[in-house]
């Protein structure tokens, strides 16, 4: 009776074929993930309170990167913008003072517009700017006119190719009032939607390598307090 067992050489070819299929699929997946992350949508975490109460510490958001013309991965080329950033947009950008850091602020004015702040009230081109719903002030005092000044600023005309951005937590935000206008080229995308929100817990145990038992302790603590720490009402809410 003739043997149906494949020849060793055939088995080797098939193993190479399967390995090659997996490798090609992995490479394609990595390339697609890179394109999506750098050009389409990217996730960000809110680390500070400068955008309270629009965005809270522990919020996780998705940003639309292609709307303003995203940068292609590995090459210094930008796709055409669907539209330019406009006042009112919540934007993510590279911080001019440290390009390794990402900042998030609200766009107040674009190139050519004149910004003036009088006793905390913001004027653009001479018109009082209506505050978004969650803008807040935590300090009732007004800082005097100076350079820089938190509550009295300008008038200041935004240079060509630049933007003027401020945090919604107006008394506790390091923004264009202090470090100047934002280069349009540093804008990464528009904040779109919250996909997760996690409250800070000052009582949560820390994980340290010096104490191996701290790892299961921290995991158990967070699992137990999980329902209380999630801000359920914020999940899947649009950023305005």
> Catalytic site residues?
50, 105
Q: Under 8 Å CB-to-CB from 42, ≥6 apart: which residues? A: 62, 63, 65, 188, 189
| Lateral strand order in the sheet of 127-128 | 127-128, 121-124, 114-118, 153-157
Instruction: Give me the phi and psi of 34, to 5 degrees please.
Output: -65, -40
- CA distances, 178 to each of 80, 95, 123 (Å): 31, 12, 17
């Amino acid at each position: 009776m003739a043997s149906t067992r494949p020849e060793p050489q055939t088995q080797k070819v098939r193993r190479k074929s399967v390995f090659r299929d997996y490798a090609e699929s992995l490479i394609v997946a990595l390339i697609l993930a890179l394109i999506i992350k750098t050009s389409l949508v990217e996730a960000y975490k809110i680390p500070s309170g400068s955008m309270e109460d629009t965005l809270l510490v522990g919020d996780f958001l998705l940003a639309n990167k292609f709307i303003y013309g995203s940068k292609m991965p590995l090459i210094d080329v930008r796709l055409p913008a669907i539209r330019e950033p406009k006042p009112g947009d919540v934007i993510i950008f590279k911080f001019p003072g440290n390009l390794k850091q990402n900042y998030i602020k609200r766009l107040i004015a674009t190139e050519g517009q004149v910004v003036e702040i009088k006793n905390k009230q913001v004027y653009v081109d001479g018109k009082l700017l209506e505050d978004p719903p969650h803008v807040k002030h935590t300090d009732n005092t007004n800082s005097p006119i100076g350079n820089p000044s938190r509550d009295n600023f300008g008038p200041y005309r935004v240079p060509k190719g630049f933007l003027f951005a401020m945090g919604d937590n107006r008394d506790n935000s390091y923004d264009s009032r202090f470090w100047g206008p934002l280069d349009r080229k540093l804008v990464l995308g528009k904040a779109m939607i919250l996909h997760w929100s996690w409250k800070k817990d000052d009582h949560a145990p820390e994980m340290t390598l010096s104490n191996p038992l701290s790892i299961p302790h921290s995991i158990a603590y967070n699992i137990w307090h999980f329902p209380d720490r999630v801000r359920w009402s914020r999940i899947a809410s649009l950023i305005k």
